Amino acid sequence: MSASLLFRPPLALRSWRTYLSKHPYRRHSRTPRHPAVDRGECSLHSSAHIPTHDLSCRATQCAADIATNPALSPASNKTQAPATARRKRVLSGVQPTGTLHLGNYLGAIRNWVNLQELYETYFCVVDLHAITLPHEPKALLEATRQSAATYIACGIDPERANIFVQSHVSAHAELAWLLSCGTPIGWLRKMVQFKEKSQTRGAEEVSTGLLTYPVLMAADILLYQTDVVPVGNDQMQHLELARDIAERMNSKYGGNKWKKLGGRGGRIFKVPDAFIAPVGARVMSLTDGSSKMSKSAELDASRINLLDDRKLIQQKVKRAKTDTLEGLEFGNPHRPEATNLLGIYSLCTGISMDVIAEEVKDMQWGQFKNTLADAVVAHLEPIQQRYHEVIADNTYLDQVMLTASVSHVAPTRTQHLKA
């Protein structure tokens, strides 16, 4: 199967309005629920607006509960959950811009590997979001393939999770337009990321897509009646917008209004919850411990890319910004670089921060950086090996993507609306 077939948009799907009128969403009140839901720690919010702070706290509590309760472990889930039981649904994705780095992996993708054991998962390469900024089409095409291969290399199993390209399912763009028509522009102008980027680039250099892409993000989430969305703190505002849009659409077009239009009434969209990992949700830059590690940062030395070789990783770690204070410690707000590097070491080795703090308290930076570089290299080597195997097998990668996009994702979207 050729790459050109894989990355060609599928045949147009029937309009979203037709699906909504014929197959309204119904609550799964009789469906077995996750134990955390029954305890009220991971339940869907009501239609009332919930402040971002409260949403973050509940999401963090939910994540901590899953991490500490043995009953929610993958092994326990396999033995307790019936094959026919409906799992809560998770959707997440990363833009195929630049090279995926250690922050993407530790903060997002590695958590997805655990989520695929507990939830019905949809992991998307969000290529439509990537075109809000200037890009080279051929480079974006290749980056899309590389991102999909990286998902698999990091442990996402195509047999248990849906890995697909956003643009292959045209309903993402269709729903985004319908949601845009019902979303006040004032909501979008409040988005912090838009304000920052528009001030940096200037009004004439910022595209309309940069203003409206949070609506496309909302469409990505609401399209699949998503229960839980893994997000970092910097994306919480966008998730809150998706919740507000869902509630607004339910209020304006759901319930009795829907019945009068010939539908069966009820809630149109499920209001999604947030999942924030207890650790690793925000890996910081190697050159500035107060800034998030980013693909868009000008300095490549600010990040460790997942495909960097041993020598390059050692160079980047060696040159990472540190302070002049004696000893190493975690959690000191005046030493963000120390907290970041120790956190990366903990995440790569699996050693708790308490043990690490005792181990490195008398170390000099030079000694610790050698230890950190070795840990990062050892952690990334199997991922890099698997990546090269996947990216070299065009037939396998194409089949994974095509199967998810055509055979599972698009039909499942219809089934979810019928549910």
Catalytic sites, residue numbers: 197, 292, 295
DSSP summary character for residue 87: P
| Residue from 84, 95, 74, 82 nearest 155 by CA | 74
User: Are 110 and 154 in contact, with CB atoms under 8 Å apart?
Assistant: yes
Q: What are the phi and psi torsion angles at 190 (to 5°)?
A: -85, -10
**Taking the mean position of all CA atoms in its chain, how far away is CA 251?**
28
Token pair in block for residue 213: 């892409």
CB atoms within 10 A of CB 338: 22
Cα radius of gyration (the chain): 22
Residue 105 DSSP one-character state:
I
Provide the Cα torsion 92, 97, 98, 100; round to 10°. 10
Amino acid at 42: C
How many residues in total does the chain contain? 419
With both helix axes pointing from N to C terminus, report the angle between 365-392 and 137-153 in degrees, rounded to the nearest 10. Answer: 100
Q: Which two tokens stand for residue 150?
A: 């990286």
Q: Which of 281, 164, 274 is nearest to 230 (CA)?
A: 274
Count of CB atoms situated within 10 Å of the CB of 408? 15
Partnered with residue 163 across adjacent β-strands are 123
Give the other-Cβ count within 10 Å of 123's Cβ: 26
Cβ–Cβ < 8 Å for 113, 83: no
Q: Which of 149, 151, 141 is nearest to 116 (CA)?
A: 151
Q: Which helix (H) or strand (E) holds 398?
A: helix 394-402
